[in-house]
């Protein structure tokens, strides 16, 4: 499988793992202390070939994803659920299976700031118990995995649903499935 876009990852171990899964070029940020030079590289790659941001499913990876999107808007994003990126020494793309990496890259999202989307997500998030409550975090994890938008805390979830232009009915269908799977 050949990827046209340049994949932005956190480090060389991520690059090595991705190259086992697909034929692709990468830009390594070398952690979350990203500098102007790396932003310029990402911007240039986006203009020439497109960019897929593929960071670790943890707090530093999500922070890095937001920073890149802030400085270089319009990048595509691939997500890997945390449970598929667990290793002996933590969480990261470098621990994922080749198959899981391929699947994540096949389900890439393009972020949008489409102001025409009118869904007010807060009432739906409350209705489905995604804000507060004992099961909220677990439900958000399952929803993020099911919709391929990654895990988000309560504050970021509505923003991510909007950015990825998730349709209200798609959200409702996913939540109904999640609720059916919960023990009574």
Q: Give the least confident one: 78-87, 106-115, 140-149, 162-171.
A: 106-115
Does residue 116 lie in a domain region? no
Q: What pLDDT, in 10s, does the model give residues 55-73? A: 999 989 988 998 998 899 8
Residues 46, 67 share a domain: yes
Question: Considering the entire predicted model, what is its pTM?
Answer: 0.75
The β-bridge partners of 52 are: 7, 76
Query: Residue 69 is part of which domain span?
Result: 6-110
Q: Determine the angle formed by the axes of helices 12-21 and 98-106, rounding to 10 degrees.
A: 80
Q: What pLDDT, in 10s, does the model give residues 173-183? A: 999 999 999 98
Residue 85: which of 1, 151, 152 has the closest Cα? Answer: 151
Which residues are within 8 A (CB) of 87 and not within 5 positions of it... i.e. 6 or more apart? 94, 95
Cα distances (Å, whole numbers) of residue 55 to 4, 44, 88, 183: 18, 19, 18, 32
Does residue 92 lie in a domain region? yes
Does residue 1 lie in a domain region? no
Domain CATH for 28 = 3.40.1360.10
Q: Is the pLDDT of residue 47 over 70?
A: yes
Residues 88, 139 share a domain: no
Does residue 43 lie in a domain region? yes
Residues 21, 92 share a domain: yes
Residues 23, 94 share a domain: yes
Residues 84, 38 share a domain: yes
Is the Cβ–Cβ distance between 65 and 73 less than 8 Å?
no
Residues 90, 128 share a domain: no
Q: What pLDDT, in 10s, does the model give residues 97-131? A: 999 999 999 988 776 555 455 678 889 999 999 99
Q: Among positive and negative, which fits the CA dihedral 12, 43, 59, 95?
A: negative
Looking at every residue in the chain, the average pLDDT score rounds to: 89
Cα–Cα distance between 26 and 152 in angstroms, integer? 25
Residues 85, 173 share a domain: no
Is the Cβ–Cβ distance between 67 and 32 less than 8 Å?
yes
Residues 151, 174 share a domain: yes
Which residues are within 8 A (CB) of 43 and not within 5 positions of it... i.e. 6 or more apart? 71, 72
User: Which of the 8 DSSP states describes residue 95?
Assistant: G
How many domains is the chain partitioned into structurally?
Answer: 2
User: Which of the 8 DSSP states describes residue 135?
Assistant: T
Residue 84: which of 130, 136, 17 has the closest Cα? Answer: 17
Residues 177, 137 share a domain: yes
């Amino acid at each position: 499988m050949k990827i046209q876009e340049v994949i932005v990852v956190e480090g060389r171990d991520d690059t090595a793992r991705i190259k086992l899964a697909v034929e692709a070029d990468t830009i390594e940020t070398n952690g979350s202390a990203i500098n102007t030079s790396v932003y310029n590289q990402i911007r240039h790659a986006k203009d020439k070939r497109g960019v897929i941001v593929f960071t670790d499913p943890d707090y530093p990876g999500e922070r890095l994803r937001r920073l890149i999107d802030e400085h270089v808007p319009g990048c595509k994003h691939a997500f890997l659920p945390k449970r598929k990126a667990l290793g002996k020494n933590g969480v990261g793309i470098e621990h994922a299976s080749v198959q899981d990496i391929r699947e994540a890259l096949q389900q890439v999202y393009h972020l949008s700031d489409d102001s025409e989307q009118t869904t007010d997500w807060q009432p739906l998030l409350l209705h489905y118990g995604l804000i507060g409550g004992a099961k909220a975090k677990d439900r958000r994890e399952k929803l993020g995995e099911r919709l391929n938008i990654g895990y988000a805390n309560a504050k970021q979830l509505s923003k991510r649903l909007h950015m990825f232009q998730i349709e209200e009915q798609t959200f409702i269908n996913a939540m109904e499935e999640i609720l059916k799977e919960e023990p009574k």
